[in-house]
A and B are shown apart, each in its own frame.
Chain A
Amino acid sequence: MIRLIPTWIVVLVLLSGCAHNTQQTLFDKLGGHDGLTNIVNELIKEIGKDKQIFHYFRDARVSRFREHLIDHFCAITDGPCQYTGDNMTDIHTGMKITEKDFNRLVDLLVNAMEQENIPHPVQNELLAILAPLRRYIIYI
């Protein structure tokens, strides 16, 4: 084990070197307003094709959903937006979203970000902000 530790430290140090190269907000890294719009459009396309979770969105107005989701992503990524939609609990109450279906949406969001060539670490930054919201969304 002792001889493994130095290797591991080298890996960590190399990685942490990558961390200090920017003052950009996450909003900027996601491509600003245009970037978010593309991601959300791609996500809506993914949802439209998805048999597992499309039914949650069947009665939603797409234009309103798009606008609010872009605003929400913009606000939580330190972009110049104010989210004016309903809170997470109000939106999802009565939908009884399961853990499995929530993770399906995460998969689709990852696909959408992949389509838009968002780098893996930037994807993770957005997911890290969204993950704590799950408790206001599932099984209610």
Chain B
Amino acid sequence: MNRKIHNFCLCILILFSSQLYAADGKLISTPGVTQVEGSAGGGLVPWAQLAGYASRDEYAANVFCSQGKVDDFRLRSCGAQLNLFDRVELSLAQQWFQVDVLDTEIKQRIFGVKARLYGDLVYSQWPMLSLGMQYKDLQDTAVSKSLNADDTSGADWYLAASKLHLGAIAGYNWFWNITARYTDANELGLLGFGGPGENKSLQWEASTAIFFSREWAVGVEYRQKPDNLDLNEDDWADVFVAWNPNKSVSVTAAWLDLGSIAGSSDQDGLYISFTGYF
């Protein structure tokens, strides 16, 4: 069933990527791609940009699917985003987290909202600034309860600053993003929220990339994470290549370095993500 939904999203995405109507008011590649919780961002980190090519006078809808497969786990994520006049981004994501050792799958739903507070990625003097929230609701709660997590749902709040500097590095465009996230989510919330005596804490995330052309970017990301369950939860990192062949579709591939997850160490693997823009 889950695989069906995943494949269904993928099909829609491919079918409609040669679309009927599409907002195209932003410069190519500037919306970023989609991160695993459904917000516009890189692969792991939400960025200040709002999803899709809507300018201030347009709206845009996007769909995405991604998969990250490391040694003992696989996370699939599919969803959609709505960009209203490049001021507000609404997103919905469904996650399927497969835990090989338990032969089980943990599902989580995430509703996201992000508001642009200031600026533009390219044109404003200061970095673009956005405030976002991701409300996460675990649909399979057994594992989180067995690990003594406090809650099976929770909200992350984050503030993100991003900027694209034209021609900054040997003439190539340079992108950076810094995100501060206030969260108690364990492994994105897939292992519940909070833990014995643990509350929400501030975690830092960052990304940077170089655009070798209008279409191709290569970058790295880093995402700090709390360790509420005393499982030695590690920070996450990735190296990614993003390809925006046109304003209708983007493809991102990354190498994930997720460290230790629920006691299984050295979780590395490949990530791939597609986003279709309408």
Contacts and interface: CB of A to CB of B under 8 A. Distances in A.
Contacts of B166: 124-125, 127-128, 131
A106 B257 contact: no
B169 A103 contact: no
B196 interface: no
A60 interface: no
A49 B6 CA distance: 41
Interface size class of B (residues with CB under 8 A): 20 to 34
A81 B48 CA distance: 39
A106 B123 CA distance: 12
Contacts, number: 81
A15 B55 contact: no
Given A18-B171, A135-B123, 6 more contacts: A12-B169, A103-B26, A103-B55, A120-B212, A120-B213, A131-B122
A106 B210 contact: no
Contact of A4 (B24, B28, B165, B239): B239
A125 B27 contact: no
Contacts of B87: none
Task: Report whether over half of chain B's contact residues are helix, strand or loop; otherwise say mixed.
Answer: loop
A55 interface: no
A13 to B, nearest CB: 11
Interface size class of A (residues with CB under 8 A): 20 to 34
A88 interface: no
Which 10 A-B residue pairings sit nearest by Cβ, starting from the closest? A121-B171, A100-B25, A124-B167, A1-B237, A128-B166, A100-B55, A99-B55, A18-B170, A15-B170, A19-B170
Contacts of A99: 25, 55-57, 86
Contacts of B27: 103, 106-107
A103 B121 CA distance: 13
Contacts of A19: 169-171
Interface of A: 1, 3-4, 7-8, 11-12, 15-19, 98-100, 103, 106-107, 110, 119-122, 124-125, 127-128, 131-132, 134-135
A1 B222 contact: yes
A40 B78 CA distance: 44
Contacts of A107: 27-28
Contacts of B232: none
Contacts of A121: 167, 170-172
B57 A100 contact: yes
Interface string B47-64: 000000001111000000
Nearest to B164: A131
B227 to A, nearest CB: 16
Interface string B172-187: 1100000000000000
B143 to A, nearest CB: 26
A17 B169 CA distance: 10
B25 A98 contact: yes
A11 B58 contact: no
B146 interface: no
A122 B171 contact: yes
B213 A1 contact: no
20 contacts: A1-B257, A4-B237, A4-B239, A11-B218, A15-B210, A18-B171, A19-B169, A19-B170, A99-B25, A99-B55, A100-B24, A100-B56, A100-B58, A103-B27, A120-B212, A120-B213, A121-B171, A128-B168, A132-B123, A135-B123
Given A15-B170, A103-B27, A124-B173, A131 B123 contact: yes
Contact of A120 (B25, B28, B171): B171
Given A1-B257, A100-B24, A131-B122, A125 B171 contact: yes
Interface centre among A1, A107, A120, A121 (most CB of B within 10 A): A1
B220 A8 contact: yes
